[in-house]
Amino acid sequence: MLADLTGRVALVTGGGRGIGRGISLALAEQGADIAVADLIESNAADVAEEVRQHGRRAAAMAMDVTDRSSVEAAVASTLTDLGKIDILVNNAGIVGAGGMWERDSSSDEDWNDTFQVNVRGIVRVTEAVQGHMVQRGSGRIINIASIAGRQGSPDIPHYSTSKAAVISWTQSNAQQLARHRINVNAICPGLLWTPMWEAIAQRRSRMGSTQTHTEVQGMPGRELFETVVDQTMPMKREQTPEDIGKLAAFLASDDAKNITE
């Protein structure tokens, strides 16, 4: 078994698709009960049903991480339905504001909306949960950042900058909570074919990409993605949501009790 999470409860934001779904199912496979929170409640409900098929308890709820009252309501619902929160996975995120894919450069709305979700959203959810963890004297907080936060991104700088901020916040929060036996870590996924990356590929196909040696303008999205993987990933393999889920399960387990940012 990868990690024994039997009897633990995880709250996963942005859990209704992509990486969030992969994490929710991986934690459930290792024995955790899952509260799936998503901006689109029907997506959360679908994943919660998959969790139940693994024999685990599940709850589904709408959560808008830009709205403190929505966050607090979702946390309260988790505590009511599942009794506690041992593990928080901050996965909710966006690449930019509405209409970003039709623009050739980042707008004020891209910067503002992305930071409200990717940075302030993580802070809001963490603040709503950490008091409960402090009272219990234990907890695991896992923030989903990105390789873009470590390397930068020429065509979506607002996104890469927000993910760099997530890494810095993780380090600061880890130092704040260590004395309460709460571990805080970040995962920086690389290249995964998710709905988010499909949209990125479509934009890069329209504009041309600055990250490969191949002309990609007009290239179909999936082919462009595979070209980026081939030319930028040392092992020339894409990752999957399941890969990220397995790492999250490890960080949530006792095997990682001495790992914190």
Nearest to 261 by CA among 152, 165, 142, 161: 142
Tell me which amino acid residue 207 is. Answer: M
SS percent in the chain: helix, strand, coil, step 5: 55, 15, 35
Phi, psi angle pair for 9, to nearest 5°? -120, 130
Nearest to 39 by CA among 8, 61, 69: 61
- Give every strand in the sheet of 33-38, ordered side by side: 58-62, 33-38, 9-13, 87-90, 139-144, 182-187
End-to-end CA, the chain: 25
Contact residues for 166 (Cβ-Cβ < 8 A; gap 6+): 118, 119, 122, 143, 144, 145, 146, 149, 186
User: Catalytic: which of 15, 78, 124, 159?
Assistant: 159
Question: Computed from CA positions of residues 193, 195, 201, 204, in that sequence, does the dihedral angle turn out positive or negative?
Answer: negative
DSSP state of 6: T
Strands 58-62 and 87-90: unpaired
Phi, psi angle pair for 161, to nearest 5°? -65, -40
| 80 part of the active site | no
Catalytic residue positions? 159
